[in-house]
Amino acid sequence: MPSLHHHHDAVDLRSDTVTRPTPQMLEAMACAPLGDDGLDGDPTVRALEETAAQRFGKAAGLFVASGTMGNLVAVLAHGRMPGEVLAEAGSHLLNAERAAAGLTGMHYRSLPGDGGLIALPALEAALDTSASARCPSALVAVENTHNARGGSVAAPESLAALHALAARHGVPVHTDGARLFNAAVALGLSCREIAAHTDSVTVCLSKGLSAPVGSVLMGPADFITRARGIRRMLGGTMRQAGVIAAAGLVALEHMVDRLAEDHARARRLHQGLRAIHPAWCAAELPQTNIVQVRVGTSAADARLWEARLAEAGVLVRTGSAGLLRLVTHRHIDDKAVDSTLQAFTRLHHDN
């Protein structure tokens, strides 16, 4: 691996989680009013929770350490034990958070998807809350944007249909909205509109929005009260957490609209890569800030490219077999896109 100081000079496309806090965030962190979030509350944390909930049209919010913690708390707070969490086969909640799933005592079931959402016929067949159900449906999980599908955005009408179907069976819907702000910006919708068709939602502040730490879980008031107790049980009560919540408030207020720049650069990167070698990228442009590049057919092919690109000063991550994942964010400017395309051109000619 390149040394740490090298990462600062490198074009880091590994994830939008590498974003560092803005000067405005650091200033807000230094002067944030603080309290004890486990005792009488931290005023800055409360302000973040209320601001986020209001923005997303939910009754209440809960500041959590990470998106994984938010999803875990949500499953436990919705959960009817023992029950089944229905998730789309490629979802992060099912694949990357599998170890956390083991802590819930719930059964996670993988269902086939259509554009990153559970296909409605499959959901209809799987939903069962009858008294005789072997493992009653407890929760339907949605992911927006969909990480493994290259940051694809769920269409609001598809979300509405899915929510209506789950509601007919009395089963709540939870959205893993790690990059929900990206979805809102891509569709030109408000956060409220994008979260209308879900009972609870987690959003990350530490990805494209540049806050250093944290996510917010939002939903009905009684749900968030239960979630707060579960967060405590998981060791997630963070005392003077206003220090980091202050950066989250700046992220909500000032860092959402600029995501459009990341999307534009992802499209430019995608088009540039297709121009070098058409087989690398699909014909459709990325909808948000994730570019998938198929450099081979095996994980070994992708790992070799990852290593060679790192030597050339471009950091990427290996996705599934033969895929590289490049994620644009605030620190990736036009010059970084150019350097990346140059590195790919050189390696392509060397091959």
Q: Would you say the C-alpha torsion 103, 109, 110, 116 has a positive or negative sign?
A: negative
Backbone region of residue 115 per phi and psi (left: phi > 0; alpha: psi in -120 to 50; beta: other values): left
Please answer whether residues 178 and 207 qualify as being in contact, where contact means their C-beta atoms are separated by less than 8 angstroms.
yes
Mean pLDDT (the chain, rounded)? 94
- pLDDT at res. 212: 97
For the segment 116-129, the average pLDDT, to the nearest whole number, is: 96
If one counts every other C-beta atom within 10 angstroms of the C-beta of residue 345, the result is: 15
Mean pLDDT over 68-89 rounds to 92
In this structure, the number of other CB atoms found within 10 A of the CB of residue 80 comes to 14
Give the amino acid at 167.
Answer: A
The pLDDT of residue 8 is: 64
- Nearest of 259, 108, 122 to residue 182 by alpha carbon: 259
Length of the chain: 351
Q: What is the mean pLDDT of residues 343-348?
A: 95
More confident residue, 51 or 94: 51
Express each pLDDT in 215-245 by its tens digit: 999 999 999 999 999 999 999 999 999 999 9
pLDDT digit string, tens, across residues 18-46: 999 999 999 999 999 999 998 889 999 99
4 pLDDT exceeds 50? no
Report DSSP state, residue 19. P
- Residue 347 CA to residue 309 CA, distance in Å, equals 8
Q: Which residues partner with 111 through β-bridges?
A: 88
